[in-house]
Amino acid sequence: MRAIAYTQTGTPSVLQLVDREQADPGEGEVRVRVVRSGVNPTDWKSRAGSGAGQSLPFPEVVPNQDGAGVVDAVGAGVSGVSAGDRVWLYLAAHGRPTGTAQEFTVVPAERVVRLPEGIGFDLGASLGVPAMTAHRALTVAEDGPTRLAPGALAGKTVLVAGGAGAVGHAAIQLARWAGATVITTISSPEKETLVTAAGADHIVNYRTTDAATAIRAIAPNGVDVVVEVSPAQNAELNQTVIANHGTISVYANNGGSEVTLDVRRHFALNVRYQFLLLYTVGQGALAAAAEDITAALIDGVLPVGEGAGLPLLHFPLERAAEAHAAVEGGAVGKVLIDVAE
């Protein structure tokens, strides 16, 4: 079978098209014929490491955590999915040498989720890291829901920082589905078009207006949940607009890794900073996210494509290096690798 692999960290050029024998699923594992492989920032960051030429935890690594395809075979003890089922995958390469950038991949059964009827592989491969991160960010507030469903966030105001990104896009859609009023910040008219298509209730261009004043005008009592991609850059804004008992859910460190906080202003409002990482969040939270995301898909939530606010950028498997370079370069939209038709 064809696969993309690398044997040391480095630029996208370390990704090579190779031919490998397909593996058989062991106990508790599922083999999936991959149709689409999704590329996330976490994928290129793992490939790049902290510098070029570093050794890897495995002699050879096949990248990419997310994907969608068709179950090809199941190992002993697997229930819930069968050969022929259309599925989406998450954290396929976590703790394992092979992800979804190959024609067949073997993953633990708990990381394989059946696609509802009518949901395509493009959407399936766009879930995983972005949608599950968004779900977690919306379910960690002190007095908020631990699960998402229609009405779960009714009466709440959610601020999504960088709503034009893949996580921001999913957060807007899931928060709206759960009944929240959604505000999002953007930096250009082009991104305003995307978040409008995603369904944001209110849009604030932080380059052309005072964001804090604009957000407070929309939410006089403050924002209940912030889905935060740039905590260092947005710390002052967040403490200005956060509500009493509000939560700032941090899922990335864009723009800086160190945050300075005014302690008195935060403890006066009982503010919670919640950091989150899917790889260490625990299987219980992942399973809950997968169930809620499936329910949202059935309700017609989480569409992708330019008309839904998340353009899709397709690359064939042999151009996986270009796909990684696109994500690393900040491409707007979701980058997918077409492994098969």
The three-state DSSP-derived secondary structure of 196-246 is HHHCCCEEEECCCCCHHHHHHHHCCCCEEEEEECCHHHHHHHHHHHEEEEE
Looking at residue 287, its pLDDT comes to: 97
Residues 113 and 140 both lie in one domain: no
Residues 108 and 235 both lie in one domain: no
> What span, in angstroms and rounded, lies between the C-alpha atoms of 127 and 142?
26
| Bridge partners, 159 (sequence order) | 183, 226
Is the confidence at residue 16, as pLDDT, over 90?
Answer: yes
Is the confidence at residue 5, as pLDDT, over 90?
Answer: yes
In a domain, 52, yes or no: yes
> What span, in angstroms and rounded, lies between the C-alpha atoms of 28 and 76?
6
What does residue 102 show for φ and ψ, rounded to 5 degrees?
-165, 165
| CATH number for the domain harbouring residue 122 | 3.90.180.10
Residues 250 and 319 both lie in one domain: no
Across residues 301-318, what is the average pLDDT?
97
Is the confidence at residue 51, as pLDDT, over 90?
Answer: no
Residues 15 and 68 both lie in one domain: yes
In a domain, 199, yes or no: yes
The dihedral sign for the CA sequence 55, 56, 62, 64: negative
Looking at residue 240, its pLDDT comes to: 97
Is the confidence at residue 53, as pLDDT, over 90?
Answer: no
Cβ(140)–Cβ(276) below 8 Å: yes
In a domain, 303, yes or no: no
Q: How confident is the model at residue 55 (pLDDT cuts 50, 70, 90)?
A: confident
Residues 120 and 143 both lie in one domain: no
| Tally of domains within the chain | 2
Residues 73 and 93 both lie in one domain: yes
Across residues 121-144, what is the average pLDDT?
97
In a domain, 301, yes or no: no
In a domain, 299, yes or no: no
Provide the residue range defining the domain that includes 137.
Answer: 131-278
The dihedral sign for the CA sequence 287, 288, 291, 296: negative
Interval 152-190: pLDDT, tens: 999 999 999 989 999 999 999 999 999 999 999 999 999
Looking at residue 73, its pLDDT comes to: 98
Count CB neighbours of 260 within 10 A: 8
Residues 139 and 270 both lie in one domain: yes
Q: How confident is the model at residue 339 (pLDDT cuts 50, 70, 90)?
A: very high
Residue type present at position 333: G
Q: Beta-strand (E) ranges in the chain?
A: 2-5, 16-19, 29-39, 66-74, 86-89, 104-108, 112-114, 157-161, 181-186, 202-205, 223-228, 242-250, 272-275, 312-316, 334-338
Across residues 185-210, what is the average pLDDT?
96
Looking at residue 69, its pLDDT comes to: 98
What does residue 216 show for φ and ψ, rounded to 5 degrees?
-65, -30
Domain end point (choices 235, 262, 278)? 278
Residues 155 and 90 both lie in one domain: no
Looking at residue 107, its pLDDT comes to: 98
Interval 69-97: pLDDT, tens: 999 999 999 999 999 999 999 999 999 99
Looking at residue 50, its pLDDT comes to: 83
Residues 230 and 104 both lie in one domain: no
Task: Give CA angle at 283 (279, 288), nearest 5°.
Answer: 110
> What span, in angstroms and rounded, lies between the C-alpha atoms of 219 and 291?
31
In a domain, 108, yes or no: yes
Residues 139 and 272 both lie in one domain: yes
Looking at residue 29, its pLDDT comes to: 98
Q: How confident is the model at residue 26 (pLDDT cuts 50, 70, 90)?
A: very high
Looking at residue 341, its pLDDT comes to: 83
Interval 253-287: pLDDT, tens: 998 999 999 999 999 999 999 999 999 999 999 99
Residues 265 and 200 both lie in one domain: yes
